[in-house]
Amino acid sequence: MVVVMASEATESDLDNVVSLVESAGGEAFVSRGVNRTIVGLVGDAERFEALNLGGQHGVVEVVRISAPYKLVSREHHAERSTVHVGGVPIGPGTMTLIAGPCAVETPEQTLEAALMAQSAGATLLRGGAFKPRTSPYAFQGLGEEGLRILADVRAETGMPIVTEVVDARDVELVARYADMLQIGTRNTQNFALLQAVGEAGKPVMIKRGMSGTIEEWLMSAEYVAQRGNLDVVLCERGIRTFEKATRNTLDISAVPVAQRLSHLPVIVDPSHSGGHRDLVLPLTRAAIAIGADGVIIDVHPHPETALCDGPQALVREDLAELTELMRALPPVVGRSLTAPAAAVPA
């Protein structure tokens, strides 16, 4: 059950709702979005019914929700949501291009990649400072040094930053630099990490687990939402199947399915799905055409020397075609390419 508070509701209105729920032996989870605050209830629904929550001051609506995820369900919020990342919207009506290097390696490489991305229409910069790697002997990222590089490139280009966090103990650090925190596919069910980013005060992007069902993905988003953060973006990045011609199998159907089940924005990662440079643009076209709210793409000035996932990065020669498709395709599906953020967040 979810209680939706009025935008003008006061803290004492909220406290009142929480107290009532607790008095009925339940738990109340308060989530504050930009436009509304909602309270998720866990406990005995019949006892909650008796509380007359809908009649309390500051309460707009009380919704019973049959899905196992409550706060992120479209059942309680029919309108699809827009999440703002450093002023850049991700949501219905727009098509947001997020691009940058898979891993931050040097200031020069990061800036070059950012400028490449920006020239093709990207308004958000991706780049990894903490890299989860299958092998303990592989490059694990530059850590805080990488975050500083990203911040410098943001200052120079005006592009807000999306970067991954892999350890709950690093959330505070990463959140000081990042505009959106990314949860990678291997951590989609790292519940301690999900709860930590839920409390970090920054938007969160959750990649789908490589063998995660759509329902499990929404449950991961619910972990974040339950800690008070409704600014969550879902990212489809391919699932693991028997087919080995591609790195993963992009589950393109997951975009409309997730959008029907949840009000959260859904974007697509064509780079990690296909795993080959020559699949990135075709998959990007498919993602836009099916109605994704954004795409996140690897670009690299010198992929042959990349420390991570070079074979799937777009290069300079691809930028003209990327630029053209980001211009031409969104209008055909009733969207416009997202404009740059007016101001760069600190």
Q: Which residues bind its own copies (CB under 8 A)?
A: 29, 42, 68, 70, 132-137, 166-169, 186-187, 189-193, 195, 209-211, 213-216, 219, 222-223, 226, 239-246, 249-257, 260, 273-274, 278-279, 282-283, 285-291, 328-329, 332-333
Q: Which is nearer to its own copies, 105 or 222 (CB)?
A: 222
- Least separation in angstroms between residue 60's CB and its own copies is 23
- Least separation in angstroms between residue 15's CB and its own copies is 22
- Least separation in angstroms between residue 279's CB and its own copies is 6
- Least separation in angstroms between residue 214's CB and its own copies is 5
Element (H, E) at 125: strand 124-126
Q: Which is nearer to its own copies, 113 or 281 (CB)?
A: 281
- Give the integer Cα–Cα distance in Å for 264 and 79: 9
- Contact indicator for 118, 162 with CB cutoff of 8 Å: no
Q: Which is nearer to its own copies, 108 or 278 (CB)?
A: 278
Q: Residue 110: which of 140, 155, 165, 175 has the closest Cα?
A: 155
Q: Which is nearer to its own copies, 257 or 319 (CB)?
A: 257
275: exposed, middle or buried (C-beta count within 10 Å: 0-12, 13-18, 19+)?
middle
Distances (CA, A) of 244 to 240, 247, 253, 273: 9, 6, 19, 11
Q: Which is nearer to its own copies, 221 or 341 (CB)?
A: 221
Query: What are the backbone angles phi and psi of residue 329, rounded to the nearest 5°?
Result: -80, -45
- Least separation in angstroms between residue 251's CB and its own copies is 5
Cβ atoms within 10 A of the Cβ of 211, count? 11
- Least separation in angstroms between residue 96's CB and its own copies is 18
Show Cβ contacts of residue 71 under 8 Å, excluding neighbours closer than 6 positions: 2, 29, 31, 38, 40, 222, 225, 226, 230
Q: Which is nearer to its own copies, 16 or 195 (CB)?
A: 195
- Give the integer Cα–Cα distance in Å for 188 and 185: 5
